[in-house]
Amino acid sequence: MANVTVIGAQWGDEGKGKIVDWLASRADMVVRFQGGHNAGHTLVVGEQTYKLSLLPSGIVRGTPSVIGNGVVLDPWALKAEIETLSGQGVKVSPEVLMIAETCPLILPIHRDLDGLREDASGAGKIGTTRRGIGPAYEDKAGRRAIRVCDLEHLDELDPLLDRLCAHHDALRAGFGEPPVDRERLRRDLAEIADFVLPFARPVWRDLDVALRGGKRILFEGAQGVLLDVDHGTYPFVTSSNTVAGTTGSGSGIGPSGAGFVLGIVKAYTTRVGSGPFPTELEDETGQRLGERGHEFGTVTGRRRRCGWFDAVLVRQALAVSGVTGVALTKLDVLDGFGTVKICTGYRIGGREFDYLPPHAADQARVEPVYQEVKGWAGSTRGARSWADLPARAIKYVRRVEELIRCPVALVSTSPEREDTILVRDPFAG
């Protein structure tokens, strides 16, 4: 049986939570390999709704879950999320949750810096979640991060604090803020250490044992490929690599461990925050998509921008991430539209493009070229087989497949876990 890597193939919010939950019930282990608690996954299990930001989605069903070294970890957010789940009857113990000892920590000073920068950026705002993700990744790359393993050696923290504070004190001074309160930071870390350390372990070793034992591992990506720091709509991106290639470096396995790469694709397009969005609809149709799709961010609560399906962007995202098959979600949101549009190309002035140019100025000037297809009057909500879908809905799915040059492996027709049409089993390879 193959491993499966799940990634978002748009700007995030594609419905990964449900798909990962559906797959996690058949996996032996679930692994988060990048991002932080800026990611938001909503799981609907029976009558209960779970909102996760940092924890792998498998945790709800008791599947052994790993937070890999590629994740930046806010220990206080972790504690709050575990306590929330505990209140919902989900027990999170070190037997179920494993955290890489080498995870960099998100500290209060990272949250401070994130907010200060965003407030000072004016029209250049990126639209971050202000949770310190970017500054934490910067400190990791700058070799001044405090990591999970350092929580066990707080009496040897001075050299790290010297490097960290030399950097942050200069930045804070530029914003008119006082230097880092080193003693308060020490106390905060000492208070949270006892909570985090029982979960810490060399997870690369656990993954190696699982791989050698033929276990099925589900790798869970956060955000989406179009937010990748290298391949996304830069600079309006996240601070990590979100493509499937990050699976190995972010968890401690070789590149062959990724297995079947499943790209999650919404049947239309949404985006949170600033940045280019060629098919955005700022009219009644866009509002209708948002209302029917309940398009509000799990983490921030911000209203998502909505637009028609962009086959150009999805095709590009699938190519750079080596996607094997896609899961098409929220097809039911398009029920009842007389006409549905699909973006098949771009124009900038008199020039045509079959990809999104890399420069932000060009991206802002892009005009979408649409193909119109007839909508369907019947309902797709709750469909669990092709026979349950209106003929025109099937035609829409097939046209999407042609344009993105990738087969559809699953179709999701509601937030409910079982309302899924399985075309190809990712775990069968």
How many of the other CB atoms lie within 10 Å of CB of 262? 29
Q: Which two tokens stand for residue 18?
A: 């449900």
Q: List the catalytic residues.
A: 13, 41
∠ CA 88-89-92, rounded to 5°: 105
3-state secondary structure the chain: CCCEEEEECCCCCCCHHHHHHHHHCCCCEEEECCECCCCCEEEEECCEEEEECCCCHHHHHCCCEEECCCECECHHHHHHHHHHHHHCCCCCCCCCEEEECCCEECCHHHHHHHHHHHHHCHHHCCCCCCCCHHHHHHHHHCCCCCEHHHHHCHHHCHHHHHHHHHHHHHHHHHCCCCCCCHHHHHHHHHHHHHHHHHHEECHHHHHHHHHHCCCCEEEECCCCHHHCCCCCCCCCCCCCCCCCCHHHHHHCCCHHHHCEEEEEEECCEEECCCCCCCCECCCHHHHHHHHHCCCECCCCCCECEEECEEHHHHHHHHHHHCCCEEEEECHHHHCCCCEEEEEEEEEECCEEECCCCCCHHHHHHCEEEEEEEECCCCCCCCCCCHHHCCHHHHHHHHHHHHHHCCCEEEEECCCCCCCEEECCCHHHC
